[in-house]
Amino acid sequence: MSQKVIVTTALPYANGPAHIGHIAGAYLPADIYVRFRRWVSPQDEIIMIGGTDEHGVPITLKAEAEGLTPQETVDKYHKVIEDSFEAFGIHHDNFSGTARPEHIKISQEFFEKAKQEAYLFQKAEKQMYCTGCNHFLPDRYIEGTCHHCGAAGARGDQCDACGKLIDAEKLIDPVCKFCGGTKLEEKESQHWFLDLPKLQPEITKWIESKEGQWKPNVYSTVRKKWLEEDLQPRCITRDLNWGVPVPGEEGKVLYVWFDAPIGYISSTAEYFKAKGTPERTDEFWKDPSTELIHFIGKDNIVFHTITWPGVLMSHGGDYILPTNVPANEFLNLEGQKLSTSKNHAIWAHEVVNNIDSELLRYYLATIMPENNDSDFTWDGFELAINELSGTFGNMANRYLTFNNKKFEGKVLSDTSLRTEEDLEFISEIRSLAQASKEKVLEYKFRDGLFDIMSIARASNKYMDTQAPWKMIKEDEVRTQVILACLFESLVMLSQMLKAFMPKTATKLENYLNISPLSFEEIIDYTLPTDHTISADIDILIQRPEEGIIEAEKEKLA
């Protein structure tokens, strides 16, 4: 039976390029999951939706700094970000933006519907105004000491140290993150609020139903840190010119945290409109059986598990709620936090010019910050690629070269000649493939990749133990049986690795001269008759050219 699945990726601000922290945090895991699930469940309808967050003060400030209009800024960085994802092999079925007409229309409809359902109310609110920048500040761009726990560096919307929601005006010693100034004033303005207290019982009941289903780092963050206390109403409008206009009100726009996640719906609508089936947006978003999976970083957990579900609920209950929010922790760089302001980052659009994105995909998958913060180091990258090359690439090339040289690439299809050792090897790699499948579908990508590489390790061990280069001197038929077992393991690797290293896996598939296979076909594999591997082969894993890694290290220094 077909299952409808919506997979979304976090919406990055269109005011700068993406870095490897973004790739590892949300986009690579989403791409791996979608590729893998489409492979193991081809009957399912899976769409991967994304886009850029294109409204708010960060956009206008970047536009001012670069002498561009906000729209020109958005267009510029949207393309940089989208091109970076494509360079990494990360493919969205639709990659939209929140400044587009479809998004504005749907966001305004959400506002009107929430108002109609009595989940919005108006009240005067004091907001922080920076006299240095001459504009109101978004909460997340005010920084100071947390009034809950006393931690420095808390944002005006949330403290990462204690996980508490924050009212910006209660921050101790607040400063403007844009200009660093302390000349902040409170100015009163009439705004619309989402009545989260009214929605709290429904939100709490829904979150509690996810215990045991969500990753521990996500569930504990939400259940223990956010719902221990009563939720507070959240302001959903701002006094700005660049944003989704509030219907019927001059000079007010929807606050980006309210309208941005609606971008998942508007991007879906764009996708189906382009296909000529606009009615399918509701088929996906309003069918209770549809799975909705949000891939995000940990700084977005609260918005995707409390406020965003609250927005969806405020529409009257016709939209589905997230099925899972497999958020990752943070990726550090050489032992320090990634910092865009200090340029302590590896920019996605630059690094792919020097290093094969397939190698970066592999290394990032091995260090993915799934449950804890992890660290990207160039020394670690070199070690990982050396192991990949030695364990997987070298083994594949040894088999391909030897079989072409000694047997003109022919593969023996008779499995009746296999020994107990052969059967144990095949059983082992099939068990590893099954284990990997289960882990990847549970968002345990690091463990899933480890099991796949264990297939390569087992293949190396089997090759070294059976030593076909020695056996051929004694028994050519036995040598062909050994090579057929290795062929089967490489077939498995070519399919299992496609989600992680699609270009490399497809290259191996071509060398083996096979067509794509389903998961069931590799688990219960039947050797083809009269099969010959390709004679046109090359090195499978190409390490970076000498000096490239040192140059990348120098950039950071």
Q: Which helix (H) or strand (E) holds 334?
A: none
pLDDT at position 63: 94
Provide the H-helix boundaries in 442-501: 445-466, 468-471, 476-496
Residue 404 to residue 423: CA distance in whole angstroms: 24
DSSP at 477 = H
d(C-alpha 387, C-alpha 383), whole Å: 6
Pairwise CA distance, residues 369 & 24, whole Å: 7
Q: Which is it for the CA torsion 334, 338, 341, 346, positive or negative?
A: positive
**CA atoms of 310 and 114, how far apart (whole Å):** 10
Q: 3-class DSSP state for residue 167?
A: coil
Listed residue (246, 278, 285, 239) closest to 262, CA to CA: 285
pLDDT along the chain (557 residues), means of 10: 95 96 97 98 98 91 92 97 98 97 98 97 86 76 86 81 75 82 80 95 93 91 75 91 93 92 98 98 98 95 93 96 97 92 91 97 98 96 97 97 98 97 98 98 98 98 97 97 98 98 98 98 97 96 94 90
In this prediction, residue 502 carries a pLDDT of 98
Q: CA 9, CA 28: separation in Å to the nearest integer?
A: 9
Q: Which two tokens stand for residue 342?
A: 């200090």
Q: H helices then E strands: how many in the chain?
A: 23, 17
3-state secondary structure 7-47: EEECCCECCCCCEHHHHHHHHHHHHHHHHHHHHHCCCCEEE
Bridge partner residues of 331 (DSSP):
374
- Side-chain-side CA neighbours of residue 161 (13 Å): 13
**Exposure string (b/e) for 180-195, b if CB count within 10 Å is 16 or more?**
eeeebeeeebebbbbb
Q: Burial-class residue 156 by CB neighbours within 10 Å (0-12, 13-18, 19+).
A: buried
pLDDT for 96: 98
Residue with the two structure tokens 């990752």: 328
Tell which phi-psi region holds residue 541, choosing left (phi > 0), alpha (psi between -120 and 50) or beta. Answer: beta
Gap between the Cα atoms of 470 and 524, Å rounded: 30
At 497, list the tokens.
Answer: 């690795």
C-beta separation of 327 from 297 below 8 A: yes
pLDDT at 225: 63
The β-bridge relationship of strands 291-295 and 253-254 is unpaired
Instruction: Give CA separation, 427 vs 69, 421, 498, 545, in Å.
Output: 61, 10, 21, 38
Residues 6+ apart with CB under 8 A from 289: 3, 4
Reported pTM: 0.92
Residue with tokens 């607040």: 174
Which residue has tokens 């209660």? 170
Amino acid letter, residue 231 = L
pLDDT at 56: 85
pLDDT at 332: 96
Asked if 393 and 541 touch (Cβ cutoff 8 Å), the reply is yes
